[in-house]
Structure 1
């Protein structure tokens, strides 16, 4: 019988921050393997510099940029929910479907909000 893996030891100070950074980096690398996040990151690589061009002032630029980053954050959280649900078991369950659907809905709402902000900003920019 194999023993379950032991949790990592508790760390403090700079060492804790270093390991937290490594865990976050691992999370970003895992997210990169998800096609939806890759597409959103590539689109964001275009939109973030464009925010400086389209935004009328610093607050407007920040809102445009944060709307793009919000999509990435929600997509990462949705992927985390899906991973946990899949880890529990492969069989279909109504609560598993509900959790995955709600994560997907959160991504959709964030995409709609960001897209709406960008559409309004581009329209205002085009009008002059």
Structure 2
């Protein structure tokens, strides 16, 4: 008798829960959050979500955020360089020695730099002695120095490419051609500057001499 009563009570309780569920479903809006904060089935879009089997992915995301940065990541720390430890006057002294060594290598190994250095040895005294205003003088001297700067950069690019590989490659050829084009642009700028500033003076001197 007790078993029948308990079975009837469970059946009536299940019917009441079913009626309450139907009432809640009819009163709930389509986009209402059906779960409450703090319940195991609550979906938290900021911290993670649960899969089909109910396992939380929050731990996986935290492990992902704690993974070390790859070497290709721009925010990854640079490797330790023992040659960057100098500071102050020591750094300036070593930088000056490295710069002089670079000039010696360029003069000894780069024929193009030697030719442009010879041209600069002729044009720089002319730029100092020519009777022009200070701004024009700076443009004359700066255009000559710009050619030397671009030639040094082009030589450094070529040396880096040869250090990587001496085999013929399309990208290596392209990099060297781009450096050569930069030197040509610098030479054209130097020629244009001297032609526009010194050209009229030369024409005036020739007319006066004739």
The normalised TM-score by structure 1 is: 0.90
Higher relative contact order (CA 8 A, sep 6+): 1
Larger helix fraction of residues = 1
For the structure 1 residues 94 and 17, does the alpha-carbon distance in structure 2 shift closer, same or farther, using more than 3 Å as the test?
same
Give per-residue Cα distances to partners, 1:56-91, cap 9 Å, x unaligned: 111101100000000000000000000001111111
How big is the alpha-carbon RMSD for the aligned residues of Structure 1 and Structure 2? 1.5
Extract unaligned runs of 5+ from structure 1: 1-5
Question: In the alignment, which residue of structure 1 is the partner of 2:126?
Answer: 50
Of 86, 99, 120, 1:24 maps to 99
For the structure 1 residues 101 and 55, does the alpha-carbon distance in structure 2 shift closer, same or farther, using more than 3 Å as the test?
farther
| Cα distance in 2 for residues equivalent to 1:124 and 1:12 | 50
Of 63, 87, 99, 1:12 maps to 87
The normalised TM-score by structure 2 is: 0.56
For the structure 1 residues 55 and 106, does the alpha-carbon distance in structure 2 shift closer, same or farther, using more than 3 Å as the test?
farther
Aligned length: 123
Question: In the alignment, which residue of structure 2 is the partner of 1:105?
Answer: 181
2:141 aligned with 1:65 = yes
For the structure 1 residues 112 and 9, does the alpha-carbon distance in structure 2 shift closer, same or farther, using more than 3 Å as the test?
closer
Extract unaligned runs of 5+ from structure 2: 1-80, 205-210
| Cα distance in 2 for residues equivalent to 1:7 and 1:15 | 14
Question: In the alignment, which residue of structure 2 is the partner of 1:3?
Answer: none
Question: In the alignment, which residue of structure 2 is the partner of 1:82?
Answer: 158
- Is the contact between residue 74 and residue 110 of structure 1 (CA under 8 Å) also seen in structure 2? yes
| Structure 2 residue matching 1:69: 3-state secondary structure | helix
| Cα distance in 2 for residues equivalent to 1:55 and 1:67 | 17
| Structure 2 residue matching 1:56: 3-state secondary structure | coil
Give per-residue Cα distances to partners, 1:29-73, cap 9 Å, x unaligned: 111121110111111011001012335111101100000000000
| Cα distance in 2 for residues equivalent to 1:64 and 1:71 | 12
For the structure 1 residues 12 and 88, does the alpha-carbon distance in structure 2 shift closer, same or farther, using more than 3 Å as the test?
same
